[in-house]
Structure 1
């Protein structure tokens, strides 16, 4: 936990340093990388993939595991807001989470804790964090609570996460491809639609 706080202070200093100096940064369309998660129960390592679907909205898929008794998959929709510039923003959102998790049930009569693992769980994931995009790298710090719906005794669990992703598709490239597809659709419709006067022409 001490290491997590040290990294947080380093991340905060790095963000302020990047904002203070002129830098060229690319907004991303698609980014993929690793995510480190830390909670009271376990530390996890996983894969994070973000895809921009609207101007300030992304979808993020997170697969993470402690390689022992806890493995989770989350699919989140996230809304981004710039703090100082488009390359430094905060985001929030939510989605659904699935997993195989351990669970702790307190027995009030015997004053014991029953420990089980391998439980299939379903829950609601929320997320809030800050994100910095510099060149081809996206670095983020977030808090991701999970509200259990089925499969686990604990109703609520929280996790702090640090992600480092590589930009696979830049925002400009994604928008350019979208314009090309829209243009191709429009040109295709123009070719297939015949003038009304053609109905009266003799063949």
Structure 2
């Protein structure tokens, strides 16, 4: 019974995803070990850049920014992908001891995850460990390690076809045709 149900759902998802559109520009929210906003832009075939603006929790004074370049590989269909990449990360923390102090950190993140796009909705889950290699503050502390795990729900602002049309009009390097 469960095997038949699983095969039925898998076949249904495959049919829906074939009709779905791949994305060019997406943006949305991110929930997990952090909360924030995410923006993803396709720059080449199977390559995207992503920006994540996050905070540790709702009541936190901490804020971070992660910039990533990701490579995508299709699983089952072109709308169901695994991705991996690396980039740069910054984090600012407000520490309130005797006097408020802002501490900033710089690090190198790597990322791996899966994503599924159907129509104008893009869902992804990722794991992003960050090794902080420098820290600026008055407090004597060492750089650290943290990891982000999250589910992102994004709206597809431009699909692949619309994105190609825009890059051709703007005459960007990404819109040039190979001869």
| Shorter-chain TM-score range | 0.7 to 0.9
How far is 1:125 from its partner? Answer: 1.1
Evaluate the alpha carbon distance shift between residue 20 and residue 153 of structure 1 in structure 2; reply closer, same or farther with a 3 A threshold.
farther
Give SS of 2:76's match: strand
TM-score when scaled to structure 1?
0.68
1:101 aligns to 2:93 (yes or no): yes
Tell me what 2:62 maps to.
70
Decide which of 137, 151, 159 is 1:170's aligned counterpart: 159
How far is 1:70 from its partner? Answer: 2.2
Evaluate the alpha carbon distance shift between residue 119 and residue 181 of structure 1 in structure 2; reply closer, same or farther with a 3 A threshold.
closer
Evaluate the alpha carbon distance shift between residue 117 and residue 128 of structure 1 in structure 2; reply closer, same or farther with a 3 A threshold.
farther
Give SS of 1:158's match: strand
TM-score when scaled to structure 2?
0.76
- Residues of 1 paired with 2:101 and 2:117: CA distance? 38
Contact 2:116 2:122 in 1 (8 A): yes
Q: Deviations over 1:118-157 (max 9, x none)?
A: 3211001111000000110000000010001111635321
Tell me what 2:44 maps to.
54
- Residues of 2 paired with 1:118 and 1:20: CA distance? 52
Decide which of 34, 39, 43 is 2:29's aligned counterpart: 34
Contact 1:69 1:117 in 2 (8 A): no
How far is 1:53 from its partner? Answer: 0.3
Count of aligned residue pairs for this structure pair: 152
- Residues of 2 paired with 1:68 and 1:153: CA distance? 21
Aligned Cα RMSD in Å? 2.6
Evaluate the alpha carbon distance shift between residue 73 and residue 167 of structure 1 in structure 2; reply closer, same or farther with a 3 A threshold.
same
Which portions of structure 1, spanning 4 or more consecutive aligned residues, are displaced by more than 3 angstroms? 179-182
Q: How does 1:9-20 map to 2 (within 5 A)?
A: 17=9, 19-20=10-11
Select the structure of larger CA radius of gyration.
1
- Residues of 1 paired with 2:92 and 2:169: CA distance? 43
- Residues of 1 paired with 2:170 and 2:144: CA distance? 45
Tell me which protein shows more helix as a share of its residues.
1
Tell me what 1:79 maps to.
71
Tell me which protein shows more strand as a share of its residues.
2
| Structure 2 unmatched ranges of 5 or more | 1-5, 136-140
- Residues of 2 paired with 1:153 and 1:69: CA distance? 20
